[in-house]
Chain A
Amino acid sequence: MFSENYKNAMDSIKPDNETRDKILDKIILKEELTSRKNPAIPWRVAFACVACVAIILGVMFIPRNNFNVAVKTDASKILTVSKSYDEIYKLVKPKKNYNFLYGIATDDEEVYYEEDIVYESITDNSATTSQTNGAMPGATASDNKNSQDGSFKNETDDFSTTTEQVEGVAEADIVKTDGKYIYYLLGNELSIFKAAGENSELISKTVLKEEKYDNFGDMFLKENRLILLQTDDYIDNTEFVTVIIYDISDPANPKKITTSSQEGWYNSSRMVGDYVYLISNCHINIRDIDKDKPETFVPVTEVNGVCETVPADSIYRYEKEEYNSEYTVIGAFNYKDGTLSDTASLLGGTDNIYCSQGNIILANSTYDRNDEEKETYSRNNTIVSKLEIKDGKIEYKTTGEVEGTLENQFFIDEHKGYFRFVTTVTLATEKRKKFDNSDHEIISYSSQTSARLTVLDSELKKTGEIKDLAKDERVYSVRFMGDVAYFVTFRQTDPLFSADLSDPANPKILGELKIPGFSEYMYPYGDGKLLGFGMDADEQTGRTTYLKLSMFDITDPANVTEQDKTIVEGYSYSTALENHKAMLVSPNKNLIGFPTYDPTYKAVGSSRYKYMIYEYTGDGFVKKAELSIPWNSDYKLYYDSIRGIFIGNNFYVLSEQSLQVFDIETFTQLTIIEQ
């Protein structure tokens, strides 16, 4: 286990006794010399520092008490459009005195402490603010056709597509297929395979960039275009997501058409119609901003070698002045030629993205606190902003707020013009008592979590909600299916709630099913079935054990039952617990596939990675295959690189080292192609 190994290694690291003694002597000496000169710190500063540390650190360590207090939150907020870069400059420029957190050094002559407003990387060379942008040599390719994927079915013709949340909204992944060819993007390498069962072959391989840690890529496929999204993961000062478009009419010889880029680190992307919507989070390097150079504090895009800053009138900000060092940038790129048809930018970060065919919802968690004389209440909320997308145009509409935080895109849904959210609400409270009439106080903390379902209208104003569900639990997974929402919370057992949302003003809980363990993701699996993928847990202790597949019968949403389940004995981890795209769910083919990691792996020559295949018979889950994935210790640094797909009668497993081809019925290996 990583953390144990790391702990053991670190525990053995200590300063020499000799060094230690020497240092201690010096400290004692200097301390004596300075002992009579320290002024007492003002009460307010001391107070502020305790409060902050308490909230942030204290919640973790203090036993829970129950309480019920309403925290005031702002109602719906609208962002305003910026008029000029000057106006933006004022917002991003750091205000003085940023040391509220620990009350340190506000009036201290030592600059080193005060300067560190933003925690940035330090490299040996000093910081520069130029727009770094890699040009990439090389090329590869093939041809394909348009795939219109639905969220409930996982395939179009007779091949699998990336697991997607919303019908008509394509999601990027490292593997794409058009039924004839398989495209696999790993780090800076694009491999194209001809998919022909035992005659499959690698027909081209393109190196996109010569950079070692350039390890993040995502990809869309549409007609004869491959749209690659790459992020310069290793460049510290300025990060760009590069959009590279290849013409793959001749897959053996893919031709690069254009390279565009957008500032920030890759957050997410979707493709609707002819446009790829790229969402990046862009940090401003506060130390380097210059009023006369907008590119130092405004996000930059580059198309065909022309760099442009996002126009001031496409940047939205809060009405009230609020310090911010991060933007969310959304660019719409045409899939054919990479032209940028529109951009928009919001001051403030984004944690999760939901995208329907007509709207993008950006969700950003916030931390609110409410100070009163003797008590402070705090909670995490989520600011949601709606942007309308239409034929490559992006228009900011409105901003609202839901209480609590959400884990991933499946926690958000749009249906019949209403937006629905399932969140975990955490309330923390801190009580202060004066101690002996001195300036010092006794502080006690408590926190409580619960689940909440909120319905907002198209203006993001609340129409209805269900509060205080699942006390002391956290929401693990959500699936919206039309008027019904299913969600799983967990602490020791796994209640699966079903809720009726047909009346937006009055959502209702329909049923609750308690079972051990929890599901991280839920996938519709044919009529009246919902597949859950997660972990099993001990009912007494709540400790998780092994991976678990559950089949829920949702024919009657008011009476959901766990019809069948299977525990993947011996396997306690899968990347599909964190990324829905790593999972293959095909009700039509009756295939469920996911990668796992074998914790007992020791022997050289065996593999630590497995790909599991299950089918569901109606009586239960049947394990069809446990495929070994070739692996040697000469690893590259790619995380979450294993995918399984099917095309016709063949099943393909892609990994860093190879493409393996199996018969879809027997799962005997037909061929293996080393990468």
Chain B
Amino acid sequence: MEYKITAADAFKKHSDMVYRLAVARVKNKYDADDILQEVFLRFIKHKDKVENDEHLKALLIRITINCSKSMLTSSWFKRTEPLSETLSVWDEYSDTLDAVLRLPQKYRTVIHMHYYMGYSVDEIAAILKSKPSTVKSQLHRARKMLKPYLEGETVNV
């Protein structure tokens, strides 16, 4: 049974997922909007390689991460507002979200993937093409920094 998905359908299905990951990575709405568009435009090229729903998600995550990387290194990005101003963009301020967005980017990414998207360490490592031990140590350190919000939870690795 052949798996077929159009970029438009993928967008309808996963635009929120991509957008939220983009927010976790770039910390502001404007860049996240741009990334959202860029991810699905790039995805058009890859859509025929998709084999199933899990693969689709993993692929979109990879592209999102790549897009937000180039976004971060472009000089345009450096001119964008500091955290405090971008945060006011959200309707409701959340101190948990604030704490996460204060982490270094690599830690934000693994925290988002683990706690929001529900991926395990091995899955994150596979998607990010990293070693499980690296992901584990990043999660561990991120949790240390997030201490006041994390009491009572354990990470299953």
Point out residues on A near B: beta carbons under 8 Å. Answer: 1-3, 5-10, 12-16, 19-20, 23-24, 26-28, 30-31, 34, 38-41, 45-46, 49-50, 52-53, 56-58, 60-61, 98, 101-105, 108, 110, 112-113, 116-124, 126, 213, 215-216, 233-234, 236, 265, 281, 283, 325-326, 349-351, 364-365, 435, 438, 440, 442, 572-573, 577-578, 597, 599, 608, 635, 637-640
Could you say which residues of chain B place their CB within 8 Å of the CB of A577?
154
Q: Is B86 an interface residue (CB 8 A)?
A: no
10 shortest A-B CB distances, which residue pairs?
A9-B94, A639-B144, A5-B96, A119-B130, A9-B97, A597-B151, A121-B106, A639-B147, A56-B126, A2-B149
Could you say which residues of chain B place their CB within 8 Å of the CB of A61?
54
Given the contacts A13-B19, A121-B106, A30 and B49 also touching, CB distance less than 8 Å: no
What is the chain A residue whose CB lies nearest that of B40?
A27
Could you say which residues of chain B place their CB within 8 Å of the CB of A53?
51-52, 54-55, 58, 126
Establish whether residues A638 and B106, one from each chain, have CB atoms under 8 Å apart when the complex forms.
Answer: no
Given the contacts A27-B11, A27-B41, A112-B66, A13 and B129 also touching, CB distance less than 8 Å: no
What is the chain A residue whose CB lies nearest that of B128?
A119
Establish whether residues A435 and B51, one from each chain, have CB atoms under 8 Å apart when the complex forms.
Answer: no
Could you say which residues of chain B place their CB within 8 Å of the CB of A108?
45
B62 touches which one: A15, A102, A325, A639 (CB < 8 A)? A102
Given the contacts A13-B20, A19-B33, A104-B59, A365 and B8 also touching, CB distance less than 8 Å: no
Could you say which residues of chain A place their CB within 8 Å of the CB of B46?
104-105
* Bound CA span A146–B73, Å: 52
Given A6-B96, A15-B33, output 17 extra A-B contacts at Cβ < 8 Å.
A7-B116, A8-B94, A9-B97, A15-B15, A27-B7, A28-B8, A41-B48, A49-B49, A112-B69, A119-B130, A119-B134, A236-B106, A435-B1, A572-B152, A573-B154, A578-B154, A637-B145
Nearest chain A CB to B69 CB, angstrom units: 5
Per DSSP, chain A at the interface is: loop
Establish whether residues A20 and B15, one from each chain, have CB atoms under 8 Å apart when the complex forms.
Answer: yes
Given the contacts A23-B40, A215-B145, A573 and B20 also touching, CB distance less than 8 Å: no
Q: List 7 A-B contacts (CB under 8 A).
A: A2-B153, A6-B116, A24-B11, A30-B41, A122-B73, A281-B133, A364-B133
Given the contacts A46-B51, A53-B54, A9 and B126 also touching, CB distance less than 8 Å: no
Could you say which residues of chain B place their CB within 8 Å of the CB of A52?
126
Given the contacts A53-B51, A119-B134, A122-B105, A31 and B44 also touching, CB distance less than 8 Å: yes
Establish whether residues B92 and A9, one from each chain, have CB atoms under 8 Å apart when the complex forms.
Answer: yes
Establish whether residues A573 and B153, one from each chain, have CB atoms under 8 Å apart when the complex forms.
Answer: yes
Could you say which residues of chain A place their CB within 8 Å of the CB of B69?
112, 116, 122
Given the contacts A2-B146, A2-B150, A40 and B48 also touching, CB distance less than 8 Å: yes
Nearest chain A CB to B126 CB, angstrom units: 4
Establish whether residues B72 and A27, one from each chain, have CB atoms under 8 Å apart when the complex forms.
Answer: no
Could you say which residues of chain A place their CB within 8 Å of the CB of B12?
24
Within 8 A of A (CB), among B100-157: 100, 104-106, 111-112, 115-116, 120, 122-123, 126, 128-134, 136-137, 141, 143-154
* Bound CA span A31–B12, Å: 14
Establish whether residues B37 and A349, one from each chain, have CB atoms under 8 Å apart when the complex forms.
Answer: no
* Bound CA span A451–B48, Å: 42
Nearest chain B CB to A631 CB, angstrom units: 9
Most chain B beta-carbon neighbours within 10 Å: one of A30, A57, A578: A57
Given the contacts A637-B144, A637-B147, A15 and B8 also touching, CB distance less than 8 Å: no
Establish whether residues B49 and A104, one from each chain, have CB atoms under 8 Å apart when the complex forms.
Answer: yes
* Bound CA span A24–B58, Å: 21
What is the chain A residue whose CB lies nearest that of B37?
A23
Could you say which residues of chain A place their CB within 8 Å of the CB of B73?
122, 126
Nearest chain B CB to A239 CB, angstrom units: 10
Indicate with 1 or 0, residue by residue over B49-91, a CB within 8 angstroms of chain A CB atoms: 1011011001100110110011011000110000000000011
Establish whether residues A46 and B49, one from each chain, have CB atoms under 8 Å apart when the complex forms.
Answer: yes
What is the chain A residue whose CB lies nearest that of B57?
A57
B115 touches which one: A7, A46, A60, A442 (CB < 8 A)? A7
Establish whether residues A265 and B137, one from each chain, have CB atoms under 8 Å apart when the complex forms.
Answer: yes
Establish whether residues A103 and B94, one from each chain, have CB atoms under 8 Å apart when the complex forms.
Answer: no
Nearest chain B CB to A444 CB, angstrom units: 13
Establish whether residues A120 and B106, one from each chain, have CB atoms under 8 Å apart when the complex forms.
Answer: yes
